[in-house]
Chain A
Amino acid sequence: DTEVTQTPKHLVMGMTNKKSLKCEQHMGHRAMYWYKQKAKKPPELMFVYSYEKLSINESVPSRFSPECPNSSLLNLHLHALQPEDSALYLCASSQDPPGGAETQYFGPGTRLLVL
Chain B
Amino acid sequence: GQNIDQPTEMTATEGAIVQINCTYQTSGFNGLFWYQQHAGEAPTFLSYNVLDGLEEKGRFSSFLSRSKGYSYLLLKELQMKDSASYLCAVLDSNYQLIWGAGTKLIIKP
Chain A positions near chain B (C-beta within 8 angstroms): 2, 40-43, 45, 56, 88, 90, 98-99, 102-109, 111
Contact = CB atoms under 8 A, between A and B. Distances in A.
Contacts of B48: 102-103
18 contacts: A42-B89, A42-B100, A43-B43, A88-B40, A90-B42, A102-B31, A102-B33, A102-B48, A102-B91, A102-B97, A103-B33, A104-B33, A105-B45, A106-B35, A106-B43, A106-B45, A108-B42, A109-B42
Chain B interface secondary structure, helix, strand, loop or mixed?
loop
B96 to A, nearest CB: 7
Contacts, number: 46
Nearest to A101: B48
A66 B67 CA distance: 39
Nearest to B45: A103
A83 to B, nearest CB: 19
Contacts of A45: 96-97
A88 to B, nearest CB: 8
Interface size class, chain B: 20 to 34
A103 B40 CA distance: 21
B96 A108 contact: no
Nearest to B48: A103
Contact of B95 (A88, A102, A109, A111): A102
